[in-house]
Amino acid sequence: MPNTDLSVLVLVALREELGALLCRMRRKDVEHFDGLVAYRGTLGATAVAVIRTGMGPERSRHAAETGLARFRPRLVVIAGFCASLRSQIRPGTVVCATALHDGKSVRLPRLPAPPGAFCGDILSAAAVATRAADKAKMAALHPSCVAMDMESAAAAAVADAAGVPWICLRAVTDGLDDDLPLAFAQHTARDGDVSRAGIALAVAVRPWKLPALVRLGVRSALAARNLADAAERTLVRPIASRAGAG
């Protein structure tokens, strides 16, 4: 039976994003259903369930639909990493979406941004932008967008269809001028996360990629910490209650 005593459903794509949030949560319980794992507890004095969706819009859509049906939350928080589309938005910056674009439609959140977040439009693309040139092209095609990800618009569409308010928080891991050290889409595990074995093999074949990969790891750790901070500041009782009343 679905659980009805939940305030917020949090959706993230990757292990690093999930781990930073779990470190902040209290009273964690684990539930397995429909191929997903939900971690239930409290974050920022709010009852939450956190689901790792895996990368890509289809996985994000499935997790949002399944999580909403099971938990019936009053608010959806879409959180995770992103790439910058503006030179002044550096790694570690948390971006709160003022709108989500997927090339077809625009979706607007119904909650204010948390203190300290950089506010701007976010593009949800079909694939990871591996090269700086790819990000520059996206920035030119979507001049209102300051960052890009893959999952947010799909999850927001599900929340909108269910009439549940959402907020989107994304932390920058790679700047506009940064090439990623590897094409991570080629090293995706069956659960939609990055395959660590695949990454290790790729680095063994191309060891000169290791320094850039370490640098990205450091930036990702910073982004994960800042993302968890922003999520915790967002999930205070008055905001959750206001979302339920809306």
Residue whose entry in the numeric block shows the structure tokens 């399944």? 66
Task: Tell me what pLDDT residue 71 has.
Answer: 94
- pLDDT of 95 over the 80 cut: yes
Which of 160, 172, 180, 8 lies closest to 91, judged by CA? 172
Task: Tell me what pLDDT residue 97 has.
Answer: 96
What is the average pLDDT across 99-117?
85
Kindly report the pTM of this predicted structure. Answer: 0.87
- The mean-pLDDT minimum among 89-93, 104-108, 183-187 falls in 183-187
Grade residue 86 by pLDDT with cuts at 50, 70 and 90.
Answer: very high
Which of 40, 49, 37 lies closest to 77, judged by CA? 49
b (16+ CB within 10 A) / e for 69-78: ebbebbbbbb
DSSP labels, 81-143: EEEESSTTS-TT-EEEEEEEE-SS-EE--SSPPPTTPEEEEEEE-SS---SHHHHHHHHHH-T
Distances, alpha carbon 227 to alpha carbons 16, 25, 102, 176, 185, in Å: 11, 14, 22, 19, 23
The runs of H, that is alpha helices, within the chain are 15-22, 57-71, 132-141, 152-162, 196-205, 210-234, 237-245
Q: What is the pLDDT of residues 198-244, one digit of tens each?
A: 666 766 677 766 776 678 788 899 999 999 999 988 886 444 445 54
Task: Tell me what pLDDT residue 186 has.
Answer: 60
What is the average pLDDT across 127-154?
93
Q: What is the pLDDT of residues 183-201, one digit of tens each?
A: 666 656 676 666 576 666 7
Grade residue 52 by pLDDT with cuts at 50, 70 and 90.
Answer: very high
Domain covering 8-245 in this structure, CATH number = 3.40.50.1580
- pLDDT of 149 over the 60 cut: yes
CA atoms within 13 A on the CB side of 147: 35
Grade residue 129 by pLDDT with cuts at 50, 70 and 90.
Answer: confident
Q: How, if at all, do strands 8-12 and 75-84 pair?
A: parallel
Task: Tell me what pLDDT residue 235 has.
Answer: 81
Domain ranges of the chain: 8-245
- pLDDT of 141 over the 60 cut: yes
